[in-house]
Structure 1
Amino acid sequence: MKMKNLYTFLLIGASTLALGSCSKFEEINTNPETTNVVTPAMIATRVIVNMANQPSQKAFMMPYLLNKNIVWTEFVESYQYNGGFNSGQLNFTSINDLASMVKFAPTEKLAKSYEGLMYFSRALKFFNTTMDLGDIPYAEALKGESDKNYFPKYDTQKDVLLGVLKELELADKAFSEGENFSGDPIYKGNTTSWRKLTNSFMLHVLIQLSKKESDADLNIKSRFRTIVSNKPIFASNSDNYELKRANKSGQLYPFYKVGNNFTIYPIISSEIIEPLKSREDRRLFFYANPSEKRIAEGKSPAAFDAYAGIDPSLPFDVVTSIKNTKDFSKLNNRYLDIPTGEPTQQLSYAQLCLVIAEAATRGWIADQPVDWYKKGIQASMEFIQTNTPNAEGYTHGMPLSNDYIASHVQKMGSKFPTATEARIEEIITEKYLASFLQSEFMTYYDYRRTGFPKWKINPSTSLNSEAPTKIPVRWKYPAVENNYNSQHLDEAVKRQFNGTDDINQLIWLLK
């Protein structure tokens, strides 16, 4: 056989073999243990977990350095010293396929439920992003696939927040017209629970707009009153927007000790320790371990003065020298020892009660502020009580019994201030204490809005070089925006900050 004929024969044979094999290709390359069809429930699960989850190990602790919950002793961390604001997040890929949940829903009622989840998820994402940066793309965001708009303009923060409030209203309406849906690891698809979350989150958004309470377009007071009076909102800790952890890979408590090389570095801040001690608040014994030095000197783990925090604004070498004396409080062992830990919250009933207490103090509603203030403290304590094993190593002999909670709440109510500003300071302080290692940056947002709690700032250690006596009030826009959307970014920076992307200049809602 000549070489050319041989080549032709082999080529034809190979082609015939390939054609004969095509019919089996899909069968061979199909995994029988996975689905090949995307369902609304699958998208819902991914979206909900993405919204509610928090990072693990060291990354989990970073917001709580900025919030002054924790002092870090590995080396200097920017957030502890008011740095780290050089690049915020401006990425909406986690919500770019929300409409597919609605499109592929098998019934009209399920479509309404997934529509509610779509609107809520959008509102949450856009709210968190504008809280960090200021003006952001909104009306033209996520239009790359549908409209080929890859360079969206930036909307003013006011317009973004008006849009957020509108989408939350649409979410509540859609959930009210829907039915229980699949794919929800938090509320098991219960639409009433999602309505409670949607309306409670709207109250959270409105309180963050407290400096704009006279803005007629926002209509903050009326919106707030309507929700509290007529809409379902959180009514107990069972409504909390939280992820319950499991002793399974990927579902463990974020700071669980196994495989975690960072458990030796966090120390409880004096900003947490001191107000708990001054209030004789037993949450101290559940947040912290006693000072080894003070225990060695004869103090009881059940004594308030056995606990010592470190001022997070101290120079790092001073922090490490204090650590060497062992006169400090580590994290309570429950955060490290228990695989499931406690549920991680994004919004809790305790926080909501204190939001409403603040609104009542500001005169937005007729309710007595002290009543909601007391409910907030009680809910925080009951959450810890429920989620902590009754073991000496976790309670230090000072359990959060029902009798103690009732007496402490009554005591705090009797001391509730009379002056408006003092009331707001007390409410924000209690909200801060109720948010220990919870809700990421929430207490930072309250601080920059109200100035409370009055965290210590040390100009000699501050990494905020342009304003060392202040904590920055925003993050810079991510550098990638300069590369791909510079025209619209420049317009937004000029409109807000006179052309300088400055971490110390106020965004609209803070003016």
Structure 2
Amino acid sequence: MMKRNIIKSAAGLLTVLSLTITGCSNFLDINDNPNKAETGDPNLVLPSAQAAIAQVVGCHFQIYGGIWNQYWTQNFGNSQYKSVEQYLVQGSDFDRPWQTLYADAMTDLQMISEKAGEAKFRQYAAIALILKAYDLQLLTDAFGDIPMKEALQGESKDSYAPHYDAQAEVYDSIFAMIDRAKGWIDPESAFLPGPEDLIFGGDMDQWTRFANTLKLRAYLRLAYVNKDKAQAGITALQGAEFLTESAQIDYISTGGNNNPLYAELYALGQYRQLRTSNSLFKQMQYRKDPRIDVYFQIISGVRRGMDQASYDIGPNGSTPATIFGADPLNTDAALAPVKFISAYESYFLQAEAVARGWLTGNTAAGLFQQGIQASFDAYHATPGTYITTQVAGFPATGVEAQVDSIITQKYFAMALNQNFEAWTEWRRTGYPKSFFVKPVTGTLPANTYPSRFLYPNTELTRNPNFPGAKVITDKVWWDTKD
């Protein structure tokens, strides 16, 4: 796997340290005016934007996605995430990630992408536009309809009170942005980014693969809401190259350069707030999944889970392994990467597309196997007979049966490291089936679970064009499958 450390040079060190990244709740307050960035130099702005996205993906979205996808649960004796477990969230809980994805990340990405006309900045612009599409997908998958066309209009009045665009329109823009950015990519350019590109170090071939994989992900999101469009878009990707290495940001143990989840938990008093949920643990145990010894730490001589939201009952479950950043008592957790798109996600996306008959050239079973193998490789786990057993049990026919198997294995591969995306795939497909349980202290009826994030309170109080509040059981546009 390609390793891109965020500290590659003195310039990179100064850039990252200047951001003072310190977890979920107090980071990247660098743009008081969300429509006017401090600098126009892409060498400085690009890493700032990438780090901002990683903060949200790796911390706030990671926490909510992990709890709502029942990967982990609040530990016994603490209370930091009790309200999340109980589904008693408020709009103000989402003020910070909304601001970061818009005011910090997207504003900077917009500014860089507008420099595509300058040859020396065109590759930066291509990366920025791809990441803007990625950023928009995060926002719309989390919140539904979002401001887009009027959100980044400089100093115009619309940028301070933007109207909301329908999710279908946002997705159309995502596809268009990816296509436009790919047209700018030139791996032979004399003006390639270097270590200031925290994800691929200026490797534009990798950015092409990232763009293709992101586009595949986005089209598959439409599989149940607009099958014809999804099929046409994916079929047009025939022959494209997809990621075989994870797109991620790696961190170091130096203060301000830690994994954002680690930094958040460390700042909360160094308590192991997040523990392994039985919803995940027992399923892996039942399947004799060897990754169980890699994913979870030993507690009281064993590895174990705890029932979802049983924080007033105990006993505690295992702390997730340091490779996931969730252990503030071990500095190794500070090094955990934030994954934008993993290699195993790429293989599972391709496997689903082939299972649906929308891509050819490989078998769904073969790509399914590569996806599981890539997960084991990423965490240096020894598979034994697990992979061959899973492949032997892969359904020979039946699209939904095959998709069920693919998404179920994706659930285990993404566990504890791509929590929001895994939760989003569960919302889209309904797979895996029957894994979730009613949390011990959950406030929703049995078999009812969150389907979205709430719009931030800042939109309700400041934007006169706010379209109205939602509740967490309101489904987003593409979430149509029973």
**Cα distance change on mapping 1:160 and 1:142 into 2, 3 Å:** same
Letter in 2 for 1:241: A
Q: Which has the higher mean CA deviation after the structures are superposed, 262-271 or 52-61?
A: 52-61
The answer to whether 1:455 aligns with 2:435 is yes
1:169-194 deviation digits (Å, cap 9, x = unpaired): 11122124755224212211111111
Partner residue, 1:180 = 192
CA–CA distance in structure 2, aligned partners of residues 200 and 60 of structure 1: 21
Give the fraction of aligned pairs with identical amino acids, expressed as a percent: 21
Give unpaired runs (5+ residues) of structure 1.
1-33, 296-305, 386-399, 494-499
The answer to whether 1:331 aligns with 2:320 is yes
**Cα distance change on mapping 1:127 and 1:380 into 2, 3 Å:** same
CA–CA distance in structure 2, aligned partners of residues 371 and 125 of structure 1: 31
The answer to whether 1:79 aligns with 2:84 is yes
The answer to whether 1:416 aligns with 2:427 is no
Partner residue, 1:289 = 297
The alpha-carbon deviation at position 377 of structure 1 amounts to 0.6
CA–CA distance in structure 2, aligned partners of residues 188 and 446 of structure 1: 29
DSSP-derived class of the 2:470 partner? coil
The alpha-carbon deviation at position 355 of structure 1 amounts to 1.5
CA–CA distance in structure 2, aligned partners of residues 259 and 153 of structure 1: 36
Contact 1:241–1:345, Cα closer than 8 Å, also in 2: yes
What's the Cα RMSD here? 3.0
**Cα distance change on mapping 1:98 and 1:252 into 2, 3 Å:** closer
CA–CA distance in structure 1, aligned partners of residues 157 and 282 of structure 2: 55
**Cα distance change on mapping 1:83 and 1:198 into 2, 3 Å:** farther
1:289-320 deviation digits (Å, cap 9, x = unpaired): 3452xx4xxxxxxxxxx53222215x4433x2
- Equivalent residue in structure 2 for 1:489, among 445, 449, 466: 466
- Equivalent residue in structure 2 for 1:269, among 266, 270, 277: 277
The answer to whether 1:230 aligns with 2:229 is no
The alpha-carbon deviation at position 54 of structure 1 amounts to 5.0
Q: Which has the higher mean CA deviation after the structures are superposed, 347-356 or 243-252?
A: 243-252
The answer to whether 1:243 aligns with 2:249 is yes
**Cα distance change on mapping 1:347 and 1:58 into 2, 3 Å:** closer
The answer to whether 1:160 aligns with 2:137 is no
User: What are the within-5 Å matches in structure 2 for residues 372-387 of structure 1?
Assistant: 372-385=367-380
- Equivalent residue in structure 2 for 1:444, among 402, 423, 432: 423
Contact 2:40–2:111, Cα closer than 8 Å, also in 1: no
Partner residue, 1:171 = 181
The alpha-carbon deviation at position 99 of structure 1 amounts to 4.5
Higher Rg? 1
User: What are the within-5 Å matches in structure 2 for residues 182-221 of structure 1?
Assistant: 182=194, 183-215=196-228, 219-221=229-231
DSSP-derived class of the 1:145 partner? coil
**Cα distance change on mapping 1:479 and 1:417 into 2, 3 Å:** same
CA–CA distance in structure 2, aligned partners of residues 351 and 56 of structure 1: 16
Partner residue, 1:110 = 120
**Cα distance change on mapping 1:427 and 1:262 into 2, 3 Å:** farther
The alpha-carbon deviation at position 83 of structure 1 amounts to 3.5
Letter in 2 for 1:122: K
The alpha-carbon deviation at position 340 of structure 1 amounts to 4.9
Letter in 1 for 2:65: P
Partner residue, 2:448 = 470
The alpha-carbon deviation at position 379 of structure 1 amounts to 0.3
Letter in 1 for 2:54: A
Partner residue, 1:434 = 413
**Cα distance change on mapping 1:144 and 1:259 into 2, 3 Å:** closer
**Cα distance change on mapping 1:461 and 1:445 into 2, 3 Å:** same
**Cα distance change on mapping 1:263 and 1:282 into 2, 3 Å:** farther
CA–CA distance in structure 1, aligned partners of residues 479 and 39 of structure 2: 46
Letter in 2 for 1:80: E
Bigger relative CO (Cα 8 Å, ≥ 6 apart) = 2
CA–CA distance in structure 2, aligned partners of residues 125 and 458 of structure 1: 31
CA–CA distance in structure 2, aligned partners of residues 198 and 269 of structure 1: 34
CA–CA distance in structure 2, aligned partners of residues 262 and 422 of structure 1: 43
CA–CA distance in structure 2, aligned partners of residues 130 and 505 of structure 1: 14
The answer to whether 1:255 aligns with 2:262 is yes
Letter in 2 for 1:204: R
Letter in 2 for 1:71: T
Number of residue pairs the alignment of both structures matches: 422
CA–CA distance in structure 2, aligned partners of residues 416 and 263 of structure 1: 41
Give unpaired runs (5+ residues) of structure 2.
1-17, 19-37
The alpha-carbon deviation at position 472 of structure 1 amounts to 2.0
The alpha-carbon deviation at position 373 of structure 1 amounts to 0.8
